[in-house]
Structure 1
Amino acid sequence: MTSKAQPEQSASKKRRERERQEMRTRLLDAARVIASEEGWNAVTIRRIAGRLEYSAPILYQHFSSKEELLVELMMVGFAELAERLRLAAEGLPEGRLVAMAEAYWAFAFAAPELYQAMNGMDGVPFGTAETPREAKNAFRIFRIALQGIAEERGAELADPPGAVDTIWAFLHGCVSLAMAGRIAGGKERSRTLMLTALEPMFTAQLRD
């Protein structure tokens, strides 16, 4: 009787965990929809509950506050970005640098509300011991790819962390200015300028 009960309890536990994860995903998706329609200030636990037709107390079982929910969203965002960068880095050697820049750009404009939350909120430190694992992974993938491109050219990065910070900051700056409508010619010209300047900027990070 005991041996039979244990598998049943294990299956029940797995089912509850799966249902919990599904609910958290639904909450995060609803938050993203509200943010895309009305901005992050409009995102509250009660607004999410209303959209999903749940009571707010049920949602508080999954996220104790709006801040906790937004931090979780940012981690999802960095995980998505890391995967896009990883796939782009698997392409042909001569096109990997541009492919990664295009992957970064595509991610940002596919979900601008999420991108802005990832890069515009307090409490997500970079370059410290407190940097979230998902963000560290995205930077790690980026660094490995840049080092690989340099090696294929018979060179090396003069300062690998500095190269990552410089190229990442460049991409983020281009995306942010394009989103804000600050570059004449609009989004497409902004993207063209970014890709045109990318190669010289990367080359400046190399040494023979």
Structure 2
Amino acid sequence: MATSTHMHSSHDTHSTTAGGGWSTRRIATTALFCALSLILSFVEVPIFPPAPWLMYDPSCVAALVAGLAFGPVTGTLVVVLSWLLHLIFQFSPWGVLMAVIANVALVVPCALVWRRNRTGRGLLAGMVLGGVVSLALCIVCNIVVTPLYTAVSTEAVIGMIVPILVPFNLMKIVLNCVLCALVMKPMAKVLVQD
């Protein structure tokens, strides 16, 4: 992939200080990614007509780009901090918990694979692995968590797995990965600027 060298250079030169701590640039960049992810968490779009109450938000795209640029720890921080801040404006702890689990499950495997194989094939493999992990955890979280804060029973949630939960969450994951791939090249150019 054409951007792999740039993203690698960004990680090497700007991620830490000589003593191993975070540089001012990395802290500032992570804060910007958190702010972007927070803003995007309020952009809610219905993408699955059979279940119009389920909304897609592109907040994970910012975390994915951050994870690929600076590693899985940064990607995880962007997810967790942005969604904790989301609670201040829209108090929905159960929804936030499920969003954090789903997004971290996508970002971390993707960033780990990308770290070992900075090619187009490595990026695709990371996104597929992250997508599978995220999809599985989305289903488990819905089965366990949804009955805790809604009137929907566990049996009803299980009945929604195939017709609603799998296709909706799969669409979310694909959208996040495609959008991330589209913005990686311009983001890489920004991240390597001094």
In the superposition, the TM-score normalised over structure 1's length comes to 0.42
Q: Which has the larger radius of gyration?
A: 1
